Structure 1
Amino acid sequence: MAADAEPVLPWEEDMNEMEAADLMDWMDVVVLIDPLGFGDSVLLEVERDASPDIVSTEVDDGGEVIPMTGEANMASPDTLRDFITFTARNYPADRFALVLWGHGGGWYGLCQDGLLALQLPDLAYALGAATEEMGRKLDIVIADSCAEGVLETMYELREAADWYVGSEMTVPAQGLRYDLVLDSLSRDRNVSPADWGAHICEIHRVTLYFDSWSATMATFDLGALDGFAGSLEALSSSMEGYASIYRGALMGVLLQTAASDLVEWYLDMGDALKKLASSSLPLEVRYMAFETLLAYDALVYDFELYANPFEDDFDTVSNYTGAAVYAPGDDAMDELYGALSFSGVGWGDATSLIRSDEPTTVNQLGPDVTYNDTDGDGELDEAVLHWDLDCDRYVAWVFSQTDEGVQFVGSFESDLPSLAIGGVAGDLTVSASAWTQGSAVSHHGVNIQLTRTVDVCVRVISRDGPVGDGLNVRIWTAHGPVGLSHTGDMFCGWILVPDEAAFGDLLTVEVIGTDGEVLAWNRTYVQGTEIMLEICLVKDVDDPVGTQFLIPAAALVVCAIAAAFYVRDEMRRRGDKP
C-alpha cells in the first residue's frame, strides 16, 4: 500500500475492511504499508477483527523488505520484488494474488512514493525477477489505482501473471471494498482467478453505484494479450502508412473516441476500434480494426460499467469497453513512451504521426485496370492493375460484398507497377495502393468483376457407407437449382461465380429420392476454388420418412448458441448480468 504521497489516501480504512472480512484459515493476507512520513513503513499479516483499531500482526522481515531506516521506497522495483519473494517464501500457497495500491498515472507509473512513481519497465523487472525466483507466475494482479486498466500496464505484466484487474478511469480515494473482496474469496475456495477478478469488478461497480460515482473495471486474460498485440501491430502499421494521405480522417477517429478522465489522450481501445472499423478509411484499415476488435474481445474476460446519468461525462463513460490506451504525440514528455515494451507494437508510432503537424500529401492517381482470360474458357478470370507511378511496392486488398457484409477475399502485392489479381471471382472491391518508403502515396477503391468456376463434390453416406443409386443431388443458388452428376461415390459438378452464385453466398444442397422427395439437406458457403460436402442419410433410401429435419435441427442449435453468445456479450459490455 503506497500511501506516502499527496493527496493522502485512506489506508487505515482499507486495513480495517481487510480485518473485518471473513478470513479463512487457508487465506494469508500480507500487506506492506508505507504511510505518509519517514521511517514508518510496516509489514502486517492481517488478523480478523471487528474493532475500529488496526490489530494485525507486525511481521519481522529481518530487513529483507523494509530497510533498517524503516522507510520502504514503494517506487523502487527492488521493494516490490523483495516483498513478493519474501511473502511467497514465508507464506506458501497454491495461488498468489498481488494488489498494487496507491496513486496511479496510467503509463507514467503507479505506487507513487513522494514525487516518484514505480515506472512500468521497473514493474516488469520486479515481477519478472520475483516470479523467476518463485518458479511460477502470479495468478492475478489487481491494480487498486487510478487509470491502470491500460494496455501499457498489462503488457508489462504478461510474462509474470495470468490475469489482471484494473480500471481505465480514475478511482475514488476509498478504492476497493476489501471486506467484500475477501469475503467473495472466502465463500468459494475453488473460485478461479478469472472469476474472482469478475467478482471484484462487480463489487467495484455496485459499491460506486451506491456512492453515485461512475465506475468501470475489467478482468483481462493476459494469455490473450500477445494475440491482440499482433493484430494491433498490423493495424498500427497500416494507420501509420496511411497517415500521409488520410491524416485528417485518422485524427477525426482519435478525437471522436471516448477518452479516459485521467488525461486527454487516454483513449478507450474498444471504442477506437469500433470507430476505425466503421470509418471511411481504406477497407483494409477497417478490416484490420474489426479483426483487432475480435482479439480485444478475447482479452477482456469481464467488464463492469456504471455511468452516472447525472454526471457530465455520462456519454463518454457509456462508451467505455474495458481498457484504455495512450495515444502519444510529439511533445517531450511523450518521448518517454518509447521506453515501454508496448511501444514495440507500433500504436504510439502511428498516433504520433497522426497527431503531428506534418501536412497531408496529395493522393496520387490510381491504377488502370485490364482483364485477361488465362485458361482460354472465354471467361475473364484475371485483372491487372497498372499504376503510372514509380514506387517501392504496390498492394491490392480484395473484398466481396455478401449478404452478411463486406468479406475479405485476399491480398496481392508486387514491387512492379503492374499487379495481377487472380484465383478469386465475383463482383469485387479492390483497395489499391502504391507505397514509397513505408508511406502510401496513392490509394483508390477499384471495382472489378472476375468469373470463375467453383467445383462442387458431395458425398452421400448412410450407416453402410456411401450411397448413390436412386438418388439425385442438386444445389440451390439464387438463380435456381444446379444438378450434380453421379460419379463413383460422389456427386460432382460446378457453379459459375458470380453468374450463378457470389462469393460468400450460402447455398442449399439437397438429396432427392426417386419420388422427388427431399431426403436430407445441408448448407455451405461459396469460398475458395472447390466445395466438398458430406450429407448423412440416417434411414434407408427407400424409407418413406426421410431425414430432412436432422441437419436443420443441428443448424438451429448452432444458431441458438451463437445468438446466446451474442446476447451474453452485449449484456457483459453494458455491465448487466446475464
Structure 2
Amino acid sequence: MKNVFVCFVFAFVSALSSCSLSVIQSNENMRFEEERKLTLVIYMAADNDLESAALEDLNEMEVAVLDPEVTVLALVDRSLGYDVSDGNWSCSRLYEIKHDAKGLNRTLVSEQLSCSELGLNLSSDKELDMSKKETLSGLLSYSRRVFPAEHYALVMWGHGTGWRGLPLESRKNNSTGVRAFAFDDTSGSYMPLCILRQAIEEGMNGTKLDLIGFDTCFGAELEVCYELKNCVNFLCGTEGLSPYSGWNYTRLLQSLSQNGVEDLKVFFKNEVSTETSFSVVSLSHIGELFASFDSLSTCLFEYIGSDGDALKKLIKKTGLLAVPHANSEAYMSIDLFLRELELLYPHISEKIHSVQMHLQSCVQTHAADGHIPLGVYVADVDASGSFSSQFPFSYVRGSGAENQCSFVKDSVGYVPSIDGSGLLGTLFL
C-alpha cells in the first residue's frame, strides 16, 4: 500500500527506535500515506482523574492487531499525580496505534507523531488545552491531510457529566451550566456542545464524520444528537452513566476490517449485551424526532394545571438517569417516558405514537430491558433526588447565555423559556 520511499522511512525510523527510543517517533513531513478505508481518531481528554484509565485504554489498543486498511490515532492529554506509568510524562502526545506483541502492560510502543496543526513536535513537550475548539479541529484537519481515508470516525473519550456548571446552591443569580465534554483540569475548562460541533465542522471542512462515539457518561442524549445532525452520520454512546473502565478497546479495534464504519456500528450494537443502554443513532432524521417531541411537549401544556404533580411523578417513574446520591443533572429515557405518558393520557396517543415512530427510525439498538435508549435532560436534582426549581441559564431559551446548544435555541415546547413557558418551565419553575 505504501511506496518504496515510505517503506524506507519506516525501516529507518524503526532502526533508530530500536537503538535509542522506547516509542517510535515520526515526522509528519516524512509521511505520504495512500488512502485507507477508515481513519479512527480517539480524543482522550485525560488531564483529570481519568489519567490512569487513559493509560489502560491505550495499552488495550496496542493489544489489538489492526487491519492494514485501518488507521487509529490517539491524542492523549495526561495529568499530574494520578499515574506514573510509561515514564510519567504529563504533556500531550499524538500516537498512531501500533501492535504490542508483549500484550497488555504499562508501556506504550505506539508511534509518536509530530503535528504542525497542534504545534506538536518530537523534540519538546507541549501541554494542549483539550477543551479548545482549535485542538479538536486541528487534529481532524491533520488526520485528513496525513491519513486520508474513505471514512472517518471520532471517539470522544473522558468525562461527559451533563450540564457542567455551578453547584445547585450557587445557581440562584448566575447559572452558567453548559452541556459539555473534554474537561481539562490544567486549564480549568471544558468543551461546550456547540463548540464540539464547530470543531467538527471546521476540522472536517464541510465533510461529515461517518460516526462519533462517546466513551463518556450521558453521550446519547437528544440534545447531543440534534446539535451534531448536520456534521455526523451516526452517534454511539450511553444515555446514562458509563463504567469507569469505559469500552474494551482491544475488542473494538480487532473488530475493524475493510468494512470500516460498518464494523464500528456492528460492534456498538453488540455492546448492548454488556452496556445496558448502549445507543447507535442515525442522525439523518433527528430533526423529525425533535419536531415531534417538541410538538408533543406543547400539547402537554393544557394538562399542567391539574396534572403537574402527576407528570412529575411520571417522570420519576421512568427512572431518572443521574449520578446517585449527589447534586446532579438528571435525564430521562424518552421511550420510557412515552410509554408511561400513554397510560396517563391515552387520548393523545396519536402524538405519542408519532414520537415513538421517529425514535424507532433513529435509534438502531434496544437496551437489555427492551426500551429504545435515548435520553433528554429534565432538571437538576439534589442528593435526595428532589427536583430543583432552578435551571442553568444555558438551558433557558431567550436567556442570552453564551454557548447555548441548538436544541435550546430551537425548542418552543419543551425547554423552559425566559418568560416561564415551555413544558419544563411550567412544571418546575
Give the TM-score normalised by the residue count of structure 1. Answer: 0.54
| 1:347 paired to 2:414 | yes
C-alpha distance after superposition, 1:459-502 (max 9, x if no partner): xxxxxxxxxxxxxxxxxxxxxxxxxxxxxxxxxxxxxxxxxxxx
State how 1:222-233 maps to structure 2 within 5 Å.
222-233=283-294
Equivalent residues of 1:33, 1:43 under 8 A apart: yes
Q: 1:270 aligns with which of 315, 318, 335?
A: 335
Equivalent residues of 1:20, 1:50 under 8 A apart: yes
Quick one: higher RCO (CA 8 Å, sep 6+), 1 or 2? 2
| 1:46 paired to 2:97 | yes
Give the match for residue 162 of structure 1: 233
State how 1:143-158 maps to structure 2 within 5 Å.
143-158=214-229
Task: Using the TM superposition, give the Cα deviation of residue 25 of structure 1 relative to its aligned residue in structure 2, in angstroms.
Answer: 1.5
Task: Using the TM superposition, give the Cα deviation of residue 280 of structure 1 relative to its aligned residue in structure 2, in angstroms.
Answer: 3.3
Structure 1's 3 and 290: CA in aligned 2 closer, same or farther, altered over 3 A?
same
CA distance in 2, matches of 1:118, 1:241: 37
Equivalent residues of 2:360, 2:372 under 8 A apart: no
C-alpha distance after superposition, 1:537-574 (max 9, x if no partner): xxxxxxxxxxxxxxxxxxxxxxxxxxxxxxxxxxxxxx
Amino acid of the residue matched to residue 94 of structure 1? Answer: E
Give the match for residue 72 of structure 1: 128
Equivalent residues of 1:147, 1:169 under 8 A apart: yes
CA distance in 2, matches of 1:173, 1:72: 24
Q: 1:235 aligns with which of 296, 310, 317?
A: 296
| 1:257 paired to 2:318 | yes
Structure 1's 121 and 65: CA in aligned 2 closer, same or farther, altered over 3 A?
farther
Q: 2:58 aligns with which of 10, 15, 29?
A: 15
Task: Using the TM superposition, give the Cα deviation of residue 264 of structure 1 relative to its aligned residue in structure 2, in angstroms.
Answer: 6.1
CA distance in 2, matches of 1:25, 1:191: 11
Structure 1's 14 and 289: CA in aligned 2 closer, same or farther, altered over 3 A?
same
Amino acid of the residue matched to residue 96 of structure 1? Answer: Y
Amino acid of the residue matched to residue 288 of structure 2? Answer: G
| 1:142 paired to 2:209 | no
Task: Using the TM superposition, give the Cα deviation of residue 328 of structure 1 relative to its aligned residue in structure 2, in angstroms.
Answer: 3.3
CA distance in 2, matches of 1:119, 1:158: 16
C-alpha distance after superposition, 1:70-102 (max 9, x if no partner): 111111121111111111111000000100000
Structure 1's 27 and 191: CA in aligned 2 closer, same or farther, altered over 3 A?
closer
CA distance in 2, matches of 1:156, 1:75: 17
Task: Using the TM superposition, give the Cα deviation of residue 354 of structure 1 relative to its aligned residue in structure 2, in angstroms.
Answer: 3.8
Amino acid of the residue matched to residue 116 of structure 1? Answer: S
Give the match for residue 119 of structure 1: 192
Q: Secondary structure at the match of 1:94?
A: strand
Equivalent residues of 1:198, 1:218 under 8 A apart: no
Amino acid of the residue matched to residue 289 of structure 1? Answer: I
Structure 1's 247 and 100: CA in aligned 2 closer, same or farther, altered over 3 A?
same
| 1:303 paired to 2:366 | yes
Give the match for residue 259 of structure 2: 190
Q: Secondary structure at the match of 2:223?
A: helix
State how 1:23-38 maps to structure 2 within 5 Å.
23-37=66-80
Equivalent residues of 2:366, 2:372 under 8 A apart: yes
| 1:246 paired to 2:293 | no
Q: Secondary structure at the match of 2:236?
A: strand
| 1:199 paired to 2:253 | no
CA distance in 1, matches of 2:117, 2:232: 27
Structure 1's 50 and 341: CA in aligned 2 closer, same or farther, altered over 3 A?
same
Give the match for residue 282 of structure 2: 221
CA distance in 2, matches of 1:178, 1:98: 14
Give the match for residue 59 of structure 1: 113
CA distance in 1, matches of 2:57, 2:265: 18
Equivalent residues of 2:208, 2:231 under 8 A apart: yes
CA distance in 1, matches of 2:94, 2:202: 21
Amino acid of the residue matched to residue 373 of structure 2? Answer: G
Q: Secondary structure at the match of 2:365?
A: strand
C-alpha distance after superposition, 1:95-149 (max 9, x if no partner): 0010000011135311211142211111111112222x2x410100000011211
Q: Secondary structure at the match of 1:10?
A: helix
Aligned residues: 331
Gaps of 5+ in 2: 1-43, 81-88, 164-178, 381-387, 397-403, 417-421
Q: Secondary structure at the match of 2:212?
A: strand
Q: Percent identity?
A: 25
State how 1:135-534 maps to structure 2 within 5 Å.
135-186=206-257, 189-190=258-259, 193=262, 196-202=264-270, 204-206=271-273, 208=274, 215-262=276-323, 263=328, 265-280=330-345, 283-284=347-348, 286-305=349-368, 318=369, 320-328=371-379, 331-338=389-396, 339-343=404-408, 344-345=410-411, 346-349=413-416, 350-356=422-428
Give the match for residue 140 of structure 2: 84
C-alpha distance after superposition, 1:233-266 (max 9, x if no partner): 2111112344234323322322222221434631
Give the match for residue 554 of structure 1: none
Structure 1's 223 and 9: CA in aligned 2 closer, same or farther, altered over 3 A?
farther
Say which one has the larger Rg: 1
CA-based RMSD: 2.4
- Point out the structure with the larger helix share: 2
CA distance in 2, matches of 1:222, 1:326: 18
4+ residue runs over 4 A deviation: 65-69, 329-333
Give the match for residue 33 of structure 2: none
CA distance in 2, matches of 1:291, 1:45: 45
Q: Secondary structure at the match of 1:6?
A: coil
Structure 1's 127 and 62: CA in aligned 2 closer, same or farther, altered over 3 A?
closer
Structure 1's 29 and 325: CA in aligned 2 closer, same or farther, altered over 3 A?
same
CA distance in 2, matches of 1:117, 1:295: 32
Structure 1's 94 and 254: CA in aligned 2 closer, same or farther, altered over 3 A?
same
CA distance in 1, matches of 2:67, 2:56: 21
CA distance in 2, matches of 1:16, 1:264: 32
Amino acid of the residue matched to residue 347 of structure 1? Answer: Y
Amino acid of the residue matched to residue 16 of structure 1? Answer: N
Amino acid of the residue matched to residue 196 of structure 1? Answer: L
Equivalent residues of 2:201, 2:207 under 8 A apart: no
C-alpha distance after superposition, 1:436-469 (max 9, x if no partner): xxxxxxxxxxxxxxxxxxxxxxxxxxxxxxxxxx
